[in-house]
Chain A
Amino acid sequence: MTTTTLPGTEVAAFAAAVRTALADLPPDDLDELTDGLEADLAERAADAGEDLGDPVAYAEELRAAAGYPPRAARSHVGAALPDLRTLPRELRRRWNALRIRNPWVASLASFAVALRPVWWVFRGVAAHTLLASMLGVNGLAWWPVGVGLVVLSVQAGRGRMRERAWVRWLTRAVTAIVLVASPLLLGWAVNAWNNAMYPVYDGEVWYPQSLNVGGTPIDNIFAYDANGDPIEQVQLFDQDGNPLNLIGDTGADFWGAQDGSMLVPSGDVPGRAGWNVYPLAHVNSWSDYEDDGRIDDTEVSETVFPSAHVKPLAGAVAPAEVAQPMTEEATTPAG
């Protein structure tokens, strides 16, 4: 027995391909025909040192010599790899047969044909998008190129310039690329849509620098006690015990309010600016500040509450008895 020099896997793969090419035969005949094939192939390979060649041609030779009729349709279901030269013709033939057999396929096809211009436009836009991303330029800024590509795509789709071979090949190549890239393009489109719906900011995350409720900026807070009387000074803290400020930059000397006036922090908090002591005081005149860049107490105006009183809470006790203790309680820092 000759030693096998060819890897067994190669022989096995070749034998498997031969069996696949003969798969249309009855199983018993196939077994009979290919029994001992591996041994023969291995020995031939060891003997002649040649490569095994084309398994499909080999299978056809085997089939013909064994007296089986040649396979009728080369590419029917379950057969070996289709012949690439006849594949387009074969596909067209089968497509036509399918259309004739099923009227709904024909109407679906004619509907799709009516939609072809949509595809032409999409192809142009897609080519533009891909080109722009490949060259790293902003596609929107280069929109005239996109318009040109759409025009070219539509013209090619309408069969213009078709007599030139390179136009046909270019059209096919672009079509193939766009088809392959369309999942990617759809991903981009979905992403762009999401971005438009839910804005995210590139780079640093942007936080609003003032407190907003329903889009209305909150400039100042006025506190009233349970009896509906205004509280002259109240310190507010958040759930973590941090000062609850209306502005992000607590180092600022002032904060421009919506009405054009300046808000200034309370000077009564030791060690830091009292931006969480409400209501914030106003500086009425810009010029006072601009003169020397400082704010004197004299320039700070009296805070005017929006209402002198609000309705007392249900079950509130008489103001004289509880006003003072409640104020004290409210000014105790939480943390």
Chain B
Amino acid sequence: MDTTQLLKGVLDVAVLAAVQHEDGYGYDIVRRLRAAGLAEIGDASVYGTLRRLYGAGALTSYVVPSDGGPHRKYYGINDQGRTMLSQQRASWAEFALTMSALLDTRRPQPVRTIGENA
């Protein structure tokens, strides 16, 4: 299965989770997500998501100048972001449980036929 397709649906929660403990700048967050195992995540997708979450009020943003190089834009989570993260965490847990149950090979779903219990 194409993991990038799956990633699209969980980008928001993944990015929120990546900044929940520590502020970070764009590539820093990409690095955290990849280190966490999301190797196929695209940087542009992460930057775009950061921008969208910021626009939605879930993140704060500030610019840090760097010595002799281009400045960095840092993102940090705020209360609204934390609320969003906990909601999405719950949704994900439920969704993951459902999918895991559906895909679990050890307990195949019995096929019911109409009239079987009659």
Chain A residues in the interface with B (C-beta under 8 A):
1, 4, 32-33, 35-40, 42-44, 47, 58-59, 61-67
Contact = CB atoms under 8 A, between A and B. Distances in A.
Contacts of B42: 61
B110 interface: no
B26 A36 contact: yes
Contact of A40 (B11, B27, B54, B67): B27
B43 A38 contact: no
A47 B27 contact: yes
Interface string B53-78: 01100000001001101111100000
B44 A61 contact: yes
Contact of B70 (A36, A47, A58, A61): A36
Contacts of A37: 26, 47
B63 A65 contact: no
A58 B44 contact: yes
Interface of B: 11, 25-27, 30-31, 42-49, 51-52, 54-55, 63, 66-67, 69-73
Contact of A39 (B11, B51, B71): B71
Contact of B55 (A38, A39, A67): A67
B52 A66 contact: yes
Ranked nearest first, the 8 interchain pairs of A and B with the lowest CB-CB distance are: A65-B48, A36-B73, A66-B48, A61-B44, A38-B70, A40-B26, A62-B44, A40-B27
A67 B53 CA distance: 10
A36 B72 contact: yes
B71 A36 contact: yes
A4 B48 contact: no
Contacts of B66: 1, 39
B25 A36 contact: yes
A65 B49 contact: yes
B63 A4 contact: no
From B67, B71, B73, residue with most partner A Cβ within 10 Å: B73
B31 A40 contact: no
A195 B63 CA distance: 71
B73 A35 contact: yes
Contacts of B46: 65
Nearest to B72: A39
